Amino acid sequence: MTTVRIPAGWPATEEQARAVQDELRARVVLDEPGPAPGTGYITGVDVAYDDERDVVAAAAVVLDAASLEVVAEATAVGRVSFPYVPGLLAFREIPTVLAALDALSRPPGLVVCDGYGLAHPRRFGLASHLGVLTGLPVIGVAKNPFTFTYDEPGTRRGSSSPLLAGEEEVGRALRTRDDVKPVFVSVGHRATLDNACAHVLALTPAYRLPETTRRADSLCRRALQEATSQEAASPEATTRHSPTSR
């Protein structure tokens, strides 16, 4: 497990954060198809918080796309780098997520994160931001439609309908299980929406949410537990470097 600090120059205000989004948005690549579904490796990333203790834990779990077996995983712990503000989620998650990705023993391949990419007030959600900073193909899978609208897709797994910002299709409501609430898929970086949806279906053989996010979710929760129980036992140990790491 690696420890992260908030990067120097990290936005401190909402205004600064929005300015960063407006600048980085130009670097998003949307004309690449992305990796073929069912091949190579796919990495799920997720984050858990303890706002009381100001601690955040991130996990990255690499799955073999064909077998969905875990082939690598890593975690990172840090301080919360931004409050939760709708539209600025990335500033809360990215430093720790980047550290977890860096700690992986093999290349991540396609990254699947919680939340949105293009489906964002300024078309630059977490998945896009993560993609631009890493250069990796990234897609976003969210559990809620955020501020967007959609018509209910068909009741069977695989049915989908456009996720709309007015007339613009910014993502898709995708049914991953019969008669269960859809997930909301959007492109982050270097992938197409059709391809992203195909990946999500390949990642959901049994549950509503992709195996990538399920694995990453449970791992980051465990990492947070371990980090905060350590803090409770010896508060000073967390603020200095551990004996083994230095």
Partner DNA sequence: GCGACAG
Partner DNA sequence: ATCTTGTCGC
Contact residues: DNA, CB under 7 A = 46-49, 84, 86-90, 114-116, 120, 125-127, 140, 142-147, 217, 221, 224
Token couple for 1? 């497990």
Min CB(54)–DNA separation in Å: 13
Distance CA 246, CA 237 (A): 13
Min CB(163)–DNA separation in Å: 11
Distance CA 120, CA 122 (A): 5
Using alpha carbons, list the distances in angstroms from residue 33 to 12, 104, 120, 125.
35, 25, 21, 19
**3-state DSSP call for residue 66?**
coil
Distance CA 113, CA 217 (A): 10
Q: Tell me whether residue 31 is annotated as binding.
A: no
In this complex, which beta carbon is closest to DNA, that of residue 68 or of residue 130? 130
In this complex, which beta carbon is closest to DNA, that of residue 59 or of residue 110? 59
Q: Exposed/middle/buried for 67, CB within 10 Å: 0-12, 13-18, 19+?
A: exposed
Min CB(138)–DNA separation in Å: 11
In this complex, which beta carbon is closest to DNA, that of residue 163 or of residue 198? 163
> Phi first, then psi: what are they for 87, rounded to 5°?
100, -15
Min CB(116)–DNA separation in Å: 4
In this complex, which beta carbon is closest to DNA, that of residue 233 or of residue 243? 233
Residues contributing to the annotated binding site for Mg(2+): 46, 114
